[in-house]
Structure 1
Amino acid sequence: MVTEVRNNAALERFELTVDGSPAGCIEYQDTGGERALVHTEIYSGFEGRGLAGALVRSALDTSRAEGFEVLPMCAVVSHFVTTHPAYISLVPRRSREMFGLPQ
């Protein structure tokens, strides 16, 4: 299984493919230096393979590399950040309490 995630900036979403087939996406909205990750979806037939975690990790890593702070508006992204403390630093300190994250 070959997975790939690419940032489709024109549509403001990260797109996941598996063996060349669309498998999911994370929609986002950029405002200044912040990127709100608002919705994560794994398409029917691709659930249960751990793909959401791979998609979220890639979106967070890309956002960091592009210089964005992240607002984990989507429950999937918020859970990932909560369970992977190395990503908490991407969330602006002033917003962490709102997402139930430690300061």
Structure 2
Amino acid sequence: MREVTVQELKSKIDANEDFQLIDVRETFEYEVSNLGGLNIPLSGILLEADKVAKDKPVIIQCRSGKRSAQAVMLLEQQGYTNLANLQGGILAWQAEIDSAIDVY
């Protein structure tokens, strides 16, 4: 499984790269804090797989990196080859990039 660090994600955002960010946390978690990605909770990732881009890089994130890794594995079984897991999730983002972001 391909992984990206929060530093790599920040570089992509700062460079305005064309990629899709998907947050697989539950809606209530997403509402507490998010990085602006599309919210598709893990429980619905296969039902909403049509919202996941196939024509550009996709980074999947959650709170710590565990649920997003599950989402990557599920989608790769459906034929996706353009996915990456965000190492450490939003907790790593808060620790390394933006200490002001709310985490729980």
When Rg is computed on C-alpha atoms for both structures, the one with the higher figure is 1
Higher relative contact order (CA 8 A, sep 6+): 2
Higher share in strand: 1
> Could you state the TM-score of these two structures normalised by the residue count of structure 2?
0.35
Q: TM-score, normalised by structure 1?
A: 0.35
